[in-house]
Amino acid sequence: MPKKTAKTENQAAENGGKKRRGGVKAGIGALIIGLILALLRLLGYLGLGPDFGLGTGKVSGNSESSVSATQDINDKEAETEAATEPETEEVTEAPAIEYVEVKVSGGTIMYNGEEVSADDVVSAAKSAGEDAIIRITDDDATQNAMEALKTVLDNNSVNYIIVE
């Protein structure tokens, strides 16, 4: 049996000789509140108590007028949806973007496995179409080669992206 110290004896004396049991009381209180809420929820589902905003689906008044009001609302929603849906004829697909693959390695520009000049890249882009984009892959290219190619493409208004 553990020895009682002066501190525990004083606490026991202050509490009327009883040990504290506040934790148990709080747990029992929470359990009771939980049971009450569960019971109210059950009663709400059975239609015998508050419904907590769940909606009971009950219709008051003449059921025929309620049905016709619902049909009117559904008809108006259908009209609104029909008015806001775009016609399929107006929707056009964006043209497919064509990329012209160019690789700059060191000081060399490569297109289709062959060494080409910057002017040849411009010609390839124009033959691919207006929307063609030059995709330049930087394979350890020199700064001068990249700058020269970008200058020629900019001067000829050719779109390009650089992939590293």
Query: pLDDT at residue 65 above 50?
Result: no
Predicted pLDDT at 77: 63
Looking at per-residue pLDDT, the higher value among 118 and 14 belongs to 118
Predicted pLDDT at 132: 86
What is the pLDDT of the chain when averaged over all its residues? 74
Predicted pLDDT at 116: 94
Say how far apart CA 18 and CA 121 lie, in whole Å: 95
Fill in the DSSP letter of residue 136.
E
Q: What does the pLDDT average to over 61-90?
A: 56
Say how far apart CA 136 and CA 110 lie, in whole Å: 10
Looking at per-residue pLDDT, the higher value among 12 and 112 belongs to 112
Q: What does the pLDDT average to over 85-110?
A: 78
Please tell me whether residue 139 adopts helix, strand or coil conformation: strand
Domains of the chain: which residue ranges? 22-53, 99-163
Percent of the chain with pLDDT over 90: 27
Q: What does the pLDDT average to over 96-119?
A: 90
Predicted pLDDT at 86: 56
